[in-house]
A and B are shown apart, each in its own frame.
Chain A
């Protein structure tokens, strides 16, 4: 190593342990970790609400709460999970932590903006949640006019909060796009980018292009509530369907903000744990960007029974299939990556394979609800609830858990207990499917969503679903437990525990301070070209960890 007088024991976690050094840090790694804490709290709160909602639905009529509490609980669950958890989760946590590392950059392009967007996010969450002190918020996360305009002044706080969180999302996306364009290490050409980078890049495009529209929508809703401007409210001559167009112009692409990063994670995990080049690399990479754009053309498939014209329903339905094909082909590419690979079943890989199962179900049922004739029957039933939980939870959250287990050693410098990890993954898998699969069945039998009470014929399915939520809850709490425990008792992580080839694994764990790389790395091959570096694995340890590329041989510059 060159002129570096860097002390190996000084790393980004311990160079300054004061609270102030964390709160004012411009280091993307520390910001990533702060996001991790924040979104985990949001996930915990949203998750507890979900358990309460499921508990209430154990039997028809009042079980633990009345209709108003129930309506507020599911609304709060949705607002927290969508805006405060899943949209910032993967891009802001793993995007922040991993993206500059995988690019071989010292930081994101605008570190100050990065810190600012973290605080803007926090402020947004606080504003949105202060609605609870003012009055009720119900009606779901979609805020459909005119109901949302009649609920009360609390809508002021929720819309402002969502507007502010949207601003944070825009700044993060903007930062990442510029980072990918301008901060790549020498030799890291576009076709050598890890697929996680490609997917975060595609996500960032959606964040920048879609989020401003939810901003103006929230402003208009706000003005409508306080100045009665009569744009959306039919009582004043407005058109409520127009609100739905505005809302879904953002919120459908937002679904891709949630799922695209998951595609990147799964690509990286499957590549790493099968030591194989991801099949159809170029297709998987470019289709992420294509999906990001196509995602803007299909929002009307949420509105087949909204009273929009049949012409637009037909166009939106047709375009919906355009986006289904590349998504399906990605799944096939991941499965063929396994072919003739060397597959290791570490916890992150279990989540990747679980993702293929649950996300495929979410995808296929997505095709079903995209079919015009069928969607008329399925719209706003539990079938749709089950579908988007299979995509959001079965897709994004499961992939996010995979990412958390995968990068945990790099983030904290500690290994978690592998056995507990596998047990928890199994619980999550069975709990998840038990919770949501019965919802497909009751939905297709006609059980509407957002129902506090239900007919006795649906009780059996609701009970199964509630039991499933308990198993899922146990699995998730177990993960929280052993990850926190690993911080104290976990064994020290080697620098490359999984034998991965991307740049974040080329250095010590935890990463050094002040710079990510003691030397600017020079990239000479693709992110999954295992067959080009067999020497790296000659002395692999029993647990699969290898000396990092960096330690073995310094790439020629």
Chain B
């Protein structure tokens, strides 16, 4: 087998992808001008993820290539999710028993100057 048999992505596809990426960039900037409350972050992340998937599947050719590489990427991403999730299990739940208190002393002194008096 020679490399000539590698999948060649047509210029038309590449152009279409860059156009979509440009539009999505504008959309994400536009969306940020409105305060959507708790939806701000998920929407920004959703658009970024769509953009990234286009780059990965077409520009990086994962759609056409070998499945092992897709598996490698998936494993890497799962590890990122594990990393974030398990740390949040700590940082979001501090103070769940009396052995730890949530928040820092610095914070409690700022928000409640009287809190130290008890």
A4 within 8 A of B: no
Kindly list chain A residues whose C-beta atoms are within 8 Å of the C-beta of B100. Answer: 307-310
In the complex, the answer to whether B90 meets A234 with C-beta atoms within 8 Å is: no
In the complex, chain B residues whose CB is within 8 Å of the CB of A181: 68
- B residues adjacent to A (C-beta < 8 A): 68, 75-76, 79, 82-83, 86-87, 89-97, 99-100, 104, 106
4 A-B pairs with the lowest CB-CB distances in the bound complex, closest first: A309-B93, A312-B89, A311-B93, A312-B90
Residues of chain B lying within 8 A (CB to CB) of residue A309: 89-96, 100
Interface residue A23 (Cβ < 8 Å from any Cβ of B): no
Q: Once the chains are docked, how many angstroms separate the CA of A308 from the CA of B94?
A: 7
Chain A contact residues, CB within 8 Å of chain B = 181, 205, 209, 213, 234, 237, 239, 241-242, 245, 249, 296-297, 299-300, 307-312, 315-316
Besides A213-B83, A300-B90, 20 other A-B contacts (C-beta < 8 A): A209-B75, A209-B79, A237-B104, A242-B87, A245-B90, A296-B79, A297-B82, A300-B86, A307-B94, A308-B90, A308-B94, A308-B100, A309-B90, A309-B91, A309-B92, A309-B100, A310-B97, A310-B100, A311-B89, A312-B86
List the B side residues contacting A311 at CB < 8 Å. Answer: 89-90, 93, 96
Q: How far is the CB of B30 from chain A (nearest CB, A)?
A: 33
Whether A310 contacts B96 in the complex (CB less than 8 A), given A209-B75, A237-B106, comes out as yes
Closest CB in chain B relative to A488 CB, distance in Å: 47
CA distance A501 to B114 in the complex (A): 76
Shortest Cβ gap from B36 to chain A (Å) = 29
Q: In the complex, A299→B82 CA distance in Å?
A: 11
In chain A, what residue has the closest Cβ to B76? Answer: A209
Q: How far is the CA of A299 from the CA of B97 in the complex (A)?
A: 21
Residues of B close to A296: CB separation below 8 A: 79, 82
The answer to whether A245 and B99 touch (CB under 8 A), given A237-B106, A297-B82, A309-B94, is: no
Smallest CB–CB gap between B105 and chain A, Å? 9
A237-B104, A300-B86, A307-B100 known; A312-B79 Cβ under 8 A: no
What are 26 of the A-B contact pairs (CB < 8 Å)?
A: A181-B68, A209-B75, A209-B76, A213-B83, A234-B104, A237-B104, A237-B106, A239-B104, A245-B86, A249-B83, A296-B82, A297-B86, A300-B86, A300-B89, A307-B100, A308-B100, A309-B91, A309-B96, A309-B100, A310-B97, A310-B99, A311-B90, A311-B93, A311-B96, A312-B89, A312-B93
Known: A213-B83, A296-B82, A309-B96. A315 touches B91 (CB 8 A): no
Closest Cβ–Cβ distance, residue A522 to chain B (whole Å): 22
The residue in chain B whose Cβ has the minimal distance to the Cβ of A209 is B79
